[in-house]
Amino acid sequence: MNIVLHYVKQLTSFSGRRLYVNLAGMVVSSLLDGIGILLLIPMLSISGIVDVNIGIPSINEALSFLREFPTSIGLLIVLGAYLFISIIQYIMQRKLNIQNVDIHQSFIHELRLRSYRELLSAKWEFYLNRRKSDIINTLTTEMTRVNTGVHLCMQTTTSIIFTVIQIGLALWISAPITLLVVISGVLLALFSRRFSKRSMALGRVTVELSQQYMAGITDLFNGIKEVKSNRLEHSRMTWVQKLSGKLRHEQQEFTRIRTASQLLYRISSAVLIAAFMYTSVIFFHSRPEQMIVIIVIFSRLWPRFINIQANFEQVSSFIPAFRSLYELQKHSKEDAEVQGTQSGLDEARYTEPLRMSQGIACSGVYFRYRSEEQGYALDNVTLQIPANQMTAIVGRSGAGKSTLIDLIMGLIQPEEGEVLIDGKPLTGETLEQFRRSISYVPQDPFLFHGSIRDNLLLVEPNATDEQIWEALAFSSAANFVKQLPLGLDTLIGDRGMKLSGGERQRLVLGRALLRKPSILVLDEATSALDNENETKIQEVLDQLRGKTTILVIAHRFSTIRNADQVIVLDQGRIVQNGDYKQLALEQKGLFRKLLGTRRDFDNNPPYEGELYDWRSN
Ligand SMILES: Nc1ncnc2c1ncn2[C@@H]1O[C@H](COP(=O)(O)OP(=O)(O)OP(=O)(O)O)[C@@H](O)[C@H]1O
């Protein structure tokens, strides 16, 4: 329950005065509701159904003036008062409900924004160690449960306030009966704790199952092409059947628990009423009006107990959802990229992009993905990347090329050693400025279901069409975009599915150039291009040299042949470093091996645009 209280505290500090005013309104509303019940007494008395004289002097005195009126007038006065109070109470209740929903929804809105902000500010390592589908599940399914949980907490608070006031009024009318009802309610609530505990255990299963479900469907639709081509539909269907069966069973179990506790309360209610009646009539010879009071009190209080208990059970089943959201928020906050700020989101702290003058330096860098691993993904890496030059990183698959790029971009932190930008450590403000100056293009770029224009404006929201076309022309994408019937307004499908691999890469390259970066990072960003387009991109990179620092991983020979520097990685270590020609001539070097021993570089250099794949070695 502590975890729920944590969010309730957040709600009270977020809503402040509004919440307390609303609670005060509820107290008034329940008082009016109670007065409505009290008016039943003179109504019954005047109408002559029974002579209600319950022995409370203050009520009797208050009602004595009614005896001076004829029955019809007296009844009209009482009924008028009853109607007036009831209508006021209903109107008030409506306003309070609207206000409650407003407080609740504003809080959830804030909670959602806060969670997104913290997640977006978390460093890359936070995401490396987590299943993305678990995060999605927490932000969707579990957030919905938290939403309902907060609503139930507010509803339960209202119910408790109502109940306490009703108990107060009932005590005034008949203390012994009310005490009996309350004691029975408390005993039953203690007994019902087992239902709440079982609900919480089931809630844990719900979170686990919905995480599995989310992970499964994310994987399924990410790999739907492989599923269809390899006829894996049956195995996927079997998986869904099994998981869905567990979900169904878990929901049935929850309904069983909920209905069992409701059954217990209803049976107890009937038993208690019967027992009260019997003892009142047989042993205490109570009068009919007292019997009516018993029924009125019981029928007002008992449903409230049932309601509070049901809410407790449901909130208990949501505790694991609260915990899941709490932990996601806590860990993302702990893993903030720049502690104490929301890097990249804080517009007030906007930092200008960095204009690098000297370059990037790594000195004695060690990095591994898990501390328990023996080997390092980057093992004592020391290098210089001069500003405004082109540096290529090559090596076999798994050599550590992408890891090195991630480290240089400050996405991961070295275990030992440091990364310096113009001599300054890559942390805090330098990191923010540095990131603003980078355009990074991965092999599998981020394109969303929208138009070509929308996808480009993602990086430069104020870019004009002219600037967009210029960037597209630069990346050899303008021609194919012009041929599309809707041009820049063409929808490209999920992750750009309606475009070819090469078209996607040219589009993303255009987007990267639109930002006019001072550092361009290409991680196998030209792998899907044909020779003609690859040559064009090569020309663009040549034009950018001298103005932009270019860092490129490429498996293709032609992309890197004009690089100012080539860094050769093997098992996380730099084994060669120099210019392309010099390395190609080192007979025993890995670079030569990667290029292929068949080729005689001295006499027969490879021709422009030739395809070569390092990975085949
Ligand atoms: N998220 C990760 N968690 C654990 N190990 C990882 C992770 N990413 C990479 N590695 C490991 O780190 C090493 C270097 O991987 P990296 O992706 O940097 O290689 P690469 O040279 O870019 O390979 P490729 O050319 O195949 O993309 C590999 O042994 C890889 O298995």
Q: Are strands 573-578 and 378-386 parallel, antiparallel or unpaired?
A: unpaired
Ligand 1 centroid to 382 CA: how many Å? 19
Residue 331 confidence (pLDDT) above 80 = yes
| Terminal C-alpha separation, the chain | 59
Nearest residue by C-alpha to atom 3 in ligand 1: 369
- Strands in 573-578's sheet, in edge-to-edge order, are 438-441, 519-523, 549-553, 390-395, 565-570, 573-578
For residue 567, the cross-strand partners are: 393, 577
For the CA of 400, the nearest atom of ligand 1: 18
Q: What pLDDT score does 341 carry?
A: 57
Q: Are strands 519-523 and 378-386 parallel, antiparallel or unpaired?
A: unpaired
Q: Is the CB of 128 under 6 A from ligand 1?
A: yes
What does the pLDDT look like over 260-294, one tens digit per residue? 888 988 898 888 888 877 887 787 776 776 677 66
Q: Which two tokens stand for residue 62?
A: 């208050």
For the CA of 555, the nearest atom of ligand 1: 25
Q: Is the CB of 401 under 6 A from ligand 1?
A: yes
Q: Is the CB of 527 under 6 A from ligand 1?
A: no
Nearest residue by C-alpha to atom 7 in ligand 1: 369
Ligand 1 centroid to 157 CA: how many Å? 53
Sorted by where each starts, the structural domains of the chain and their CATH numbers stand as 2-334 (1.20.1560.10), 387-415+424-616 (3.40.50.300)
Q: What is the ipTM of this complex?
A: 0.97
Residue 259 confidence (pLDDT) above 80 = yes
Q: Is the CB of 24 under 6 A from ligand 1?
A: no
Residue 219 confidence (pLDDT) above 80 = yes
Q: Is 423 left (phi over 0), alpha (psi -120 to 50) or beta?
A: left
Helix segments in 374-483, DSSP class H: 401-408, 428-436, 452-457, 465-474, 478-483
- Tell me which DSSP letter residue 614 carries: G
What does the pLDDT look like over 151-210, one tens digit per residue? 888 888 888 887 888 788 778 777 777 788 788 888 888 888 888 889 889 999 999 999
Q: What predicted TM-score, i.e. pTM, was given to this entire model? A: 0.78
Nearest residue by C-alpha to atom 18 in ligand 1: 400
How do the residues of the chain divide into helix, strand and coil, expressed in percent and rounded to 5? 65, 10, 25
Ligand 1 centroid to 369 CA: how many Å? 9
Q: What pLDDT score does 404 carry?
A: 95
As a whole number of angstroms, the longest Cα–Cα distance in the chain is: 126
* CA distances for 557 relative to 488, 519, 524, angstroms: 32, 22, 12
d(CA 118, CA 124): 13
- Between helix 193-222 and helix 175-191 the angle, nearest 10°, is 50
